[in-house]
Structure formats: structure tokens, C-alpha cells
Amino acid sequence: MFSFLYNKLYKKIIIVLLALFILLPYTDEVPYPLILDVPKSDEIKITEEWKNLKYPCFKVETLSGNWLSDYSRYFSISDYENFRLNPGLYFGEEIKDFKEKKVLIGYGEEMYSLIQPIDRCVKQEIQRQDTHESKFYILGEVKPNICQLHAPHIQSKCQSSYVVQSCSFSKTGSMTGINPCTIGIFGMFDLKEVGLSIVPLKYFQFFENENDAFNYVWFEEKFS
């Protein structure tokens, strides 16, 4: 009896899935894509400003998280878990000073900021080049209005935005964390204090791959 009900339910599921695939091409508005293609590299329109950027322009959370957590404490950010995934929401609110701040006080005292002025980051030396290979990849474009939604208080217009993957791989084969790459939405803003800068808006480090990031962007474009 159980086997009969199981087979009947299984057949119904298969029929529903087949119907979805058949009807999708004839549907004007799809509630959510079953399969969303990631843009190919030659399909991405990259502006000249972004073509000249370097790895240090894209700040992401390190494996230890020490720099980012100290940075959040400097601005008395209470909801750290939300901040580490959605930093764009805090610029212009809790974070009103976009210049570098001193972090890790007592442990090296380094200057740090999520916001990276372009005139500085393109000249900045990439750290640990002897042990790590650091790269970034522009995966696809994000519409300026979606960029602006992720930095609603920054008081500056988003000029352009992309989904970017920032990676740091060990040359020796040693462990660099579960996932050495972080995917995020980054925007370019002309900020009063620091000039034209790259601003991290949202991180996707808990997502498996770029498909999830583009599903998120697709959903924001359709329903925001």
C-alpha cells in the first residue's frame, strides 16, 4: 500500500516539474527562475574605471574577522552579524566618517576601512604575495538603482556597481579557510571625505557560488 502511494506521489511531482519546464518559455512573468545563467566574461560591460582597479580595492572579511570586528566596534555597531553581511546599510548612519580608522590596538595597530578610495587602493601593495595568490573577478553588472538600495544613507549617487569575487589562495597548499573566496556587491561612489571610492554593499560568503548571488540580484531587480 505504501509503495503504491509513494509511486503515485512521485509521478505527480514529475508531471508538475515537466509542466513547469514546458510552460516557462510562454510565460511573460516568472515568479523566480529555476535556472539562472551567470553572465559570460565577454558579455560583461566593464567601465574603464573598474578595469583599472586592483585586488586591494575590494575589502572582504578575513578568516579571523579581527579587522572587521574592531572596525564595527569603533562605530559602536550593535548588530554585528547583520553588518558583516550588509555593510552598505551602515554607511551614512552608524558609519559617518569614511576615512581609515586604527584597529587592532595593542596588536599591531593597523589602519583599516571597508571603503577604499580608488586613488589609493590601485597603488596599494598586495600583502603576503610570497605565500598567497590574491585575485579578483568581476562576475556581472548590477543596476545603479539596486546598488543605491543597498546604501540608502550614504548621501552619494551610485555611479556603477558589479558582483565581484575576491580570492586569496595559499601557494603552499595550506588551509586558508573553508572558502578562500568571497562574493559581494560593490559600488562606486564619489564621497565627499575620500573621493571616488569602492564601497562593499553586500557579501555572499554563506552562498555556495555565484549562481546564488545572481539569483539574489535578479530577485531585487524584479521586486524592489
Mean pLDDT by 10 residues, the chain (224 residues): 44 48 46 59 87 95 81 93 95 94 77 95 84 88 96 96 90 59 95 95 76 88 84
Spatial distance between the Cα atoms of 30 and 27, rounded to a whole number of angstroms: 6
Spatial distance between the Cα atoms of 154 and 74, rounded to a whole number of angstroms: 18
Spatial distance between the Cα atoms of 137 and 122, rounded to a whole number of angstroms: 15
Task: Report pLDDT for 67.
Answer: 86
Task: Report pLDDT for 206.
Answer: 56
Task: Report pLDDT for 173.
Answer: 62
Spatial distance between the Cα atoms of 99 and 159, rounded to a whole number of angstroms: 20
Q: Quick one: CA torsion of 40, 123, 83, 223, rounded to 10 degrees?
A: -30
Task: Report pLDDT for 171.
Answer: 73
Spatial distance between the Cα atoms of 113 and 149, rounded to a whole number of angstroms: 21
Residue 34 contacts by C-beta under 8 Å, 6 or more apart in sequence? 20, 21, 24
Spatial distance between the Cα atoms of 224 and 213, rounded to a whole number of angstroms: 16
Task: Report pLDDT for 89.
Answer: 97
Task: Report pLDDT for 129.
Answer: 74
